[in-house]
Amino acid sequence: MPTNTLSPDEDPCGPGMKVSHSSRWNYGLCSRSWFYEKEYGWRGLALPLLVFGHAVEETVCRVLRESPELISANAASHVLDSPTHQKTVVWGRRDRQETHIDQRPESEEKWLGPKLMLFGDAPSDIEEIRKWAHARVDVHWPRAIEGARIAWENDANRSGNWNEFMQARGNLGPNHAKNALDMHIEEVLACLEANGGPTLESWRKGIRPIISAPDGRPNYHTIPHPFANSEGSATLAECWEIARPWFVDPEAGSFTQQAMLPEGWFQGEYDLVYRWEGTPRIVDLKASNGTSEWAAAYPVQMKTYAWLWWASHDHEMVSGLETWYMGAASRKKYNLPSQTDLQKMQQELNQFWHDHMATRGSRDITNYPPNPAPVPSHSPGGGDVIEVKDPSERCKVCLWANICEGSGEMMEISSTEWEDVNGTSHQFNDLSQVNSRVNVFGTISTWKGGEWRHGGIAPALGIWGGGTSTWVSSYKGGPKEIPEGLHVGSKVRVIDTYFAKTRKGGLQLKLDDLSRIEIAEEAKEGDIVPSSLPRINIRGRVMSLAKGQGEHNFGTWKRWGASIATENGNIDLSAMNEDIPFISAEINRGDEIVILNAIATAFGAKLQGALDQLSQIAIIK
Ligand code: SF4
């Protein structure tokens, strides 16, 4: 539920620096594993199971959006799709276009819900509604699972066999979704029994919650529903509408429906929020039977959601917390926390943010020792713990076991020199000694003073030297201070700046709060001119991969990346567009590779290696 949305420019924490339930829980499973993923950015395997869960939830939400009296059982899946559309395109940074998607256009014209007409042979009792809901699952499922397969196919860290997964488990998807809808139908019946509940009268007048369910109508739609009676007992058709929970709009962009604290340091995404009883009840959908160790995480997850609602709704308490295990067709209800519990939770979560999230980029690995937790399993439906395995079992399936000293299976990473096919020997850099910060001497060729809206000076300038000009721009607020009177023609030293890749694939220098600009008549020892790029050779093991594509103001962009662990440090490789080497298609997680002539760049405080046409990669094994 998108409470307190913050645009990227206004977000004081930014992506990767917010606490979420999963980040906090995973820290407790092993702090070292957490460190690898949060600090080094190593990504887990993209298994079919992960996207399968999304497909089941998407299917459930597509049916929840519809009405048995408006959508026939065999209507096409897209008939009530939300008209999310591109609203504005802004220049988030000088080199990047940011598209703002309007997730909930206000114009009635764009929405199909108000245009639908009642049809004659609509389901008239709850059994017919159940049959209708199950038939709608069969219509929506192929679309949802195909979208999931495409997302899995395109993931750089894809693992597993899709067809085998679908035969073994994926084919249960429609059953899972039908189980969830049966539980929703229990809600509709309860609402009918309560004569529509306390919101019946306001609903009949067309009054909707501030953030209404994405039911094919705009958020601020005030026209009473076509099924709304002016008086009398609530009907089944009315209760289907009134009981509809808020859910994640399948057409909304990823991560746009997250609830966020106004201060920005926590975010989480509810699956369903039921409000027909007049108070909020939060439900989380699980595409499983609740026997895995994750069942232990769910009570904490739900308590965290109770806190998030409380903290972002003027201390309003939720009236229910439930996990719906779609694989076991069962709902698990949790005891509600007290105000005191929630206050304590807020302190703990905020402390976690201070200790572990706000320190992103400067976390010390020695504070994150290998400390795997035992591995429990549960009876179906998130029931009692039936077995607890030794912590070493966690290491046996850990993706980082070959790099972690706690696993007992750590592999050596060689940094010895390497001979290429021409017999040329190459030495490798010690990454612990590579400083991505450089001091650059040159003449200002373009000058744009600026101001970042959240404070800072944020200058941007062209700097000329060595026969070339390089653009220098600010990261967030840029340097804390700059000399007065800078102008085109000023000779300057730009101190502790770093090279960074643009989306276009070019290189520019970045200024952050550690950088300075100094007026200087001549260069000092160690200064470089803008044209001299710091190049490094790397030998290491591929820990995870990344790829992406999109559009910017110059057209489309493509990116390939790899996180590399070396004997003496870690680095993220990144290549854009035509600089992406052909061999990237052959590189897999776990491969030992060498990279020659990468450019030492940075993203914030993190060392990166950018590839260009002079860089080379070879797979050793
Ligand atoms: S191998 Fe074991 S100790 Fe090391 S990160 Fe993985 S779970 Fe933690």
- pLDDT of residue 419 exceeding 60, the answer is yes
Of 375, 398, 402, 403, which is best to mutate to test ligand 1, by the most ligand atoms within 8 angstroms of its C-beta?
398
The answer to whether residue 92 scores a pLDDT higher than 70 is no
24-33, 92-101, 402-411, 572-581, range with greatest mean pLDDT: 24-33
Q: Which two tokens stand for residue 15?
A: 């992506």
Q: State which of 202-211, 366-375, 429-438 shows the largest mean pLDDT.
A: 366-375
295 neighbors 327 (Cβ within 8 angstroms): no
The pLDDT confidence band at residue 341, using thresholds 50, 70 and 90, is very high
For ligand 1, atom 7, the nearest C-alpha belongs to 395
Ligand 1 proximal residues by C-beta, below 6 Å? 30, 32-33, 370, 372, 394-395, 398, 400-401, 404, 406-407
Q: Ligand 1 centroid to 268 CA: how many Å?
A: 26
Fold agreement (437-519, 535-619): yes
> Domain residue spans in the chain?
21-351, 437-519, 535-619
Q: What distance in Å separates the CA atoms of residue 494 and residue 489, rounded to the nearest whole number?
A: 14
Q: Rounded to the nearest whole angstrom, what is the distance from the C-alpha of residue 34 to the centroid of ligand 1?
A: 9
Residue type for position 233: S
Atom of ligand 1 nearest to the CA of 370: 3
The reported pLDDT for the residue numbered 97 is 41
Looking at the structure, give the CATH architecture of the domain made up of residues 535-619: Beta Barrel (2.40)
CB-based contact 81:65 (threshold 8 Å) = no
Q: Tokens for 414?
A: 């060689």
* Domain 437-519 grouped into CATH 2.40.50.140: yes
- What is the Cα–Cα distance from 372 to 33, expressed in whole angstroms? 8
Tell which phi-psi region holds residue 226, choosing left (phi > 0), alpha (psi between -120 and 50) or beta: alpha
Q: How many helices (H) and strands (E) does the chain have?
A: 11, 25
pLDDT reported for residue 264? 84
Residue 476 has pLDDT above 80, yes or no: no
Residues 6 or more apart whose Cβ sits within 8 Å of residue 381: 289, 290, 325, 328, 330, 332
- Quick check: 483 and 75 in contact, CB under 8 A? no
Identify which of 449, 450, 497, 496 has the alpha carbon closest to the alpha carbon of residue 470: 497
String of DSSP letters for 114-135: GG----TT---SHHHHHHHHHH
Q: Does residue 559 carry a pLDDT above 50? A: yes
Beta-strand relationship, 507-511 and 468-474:
parallel
What spacing in Å lies between the alpha carbon of 362 and ligand 1's midpoint? 21
Chain segment 223-260, per-residue pLDDT in tens: 888 888 889 999 999 999 999 999 998 888 777 788 88
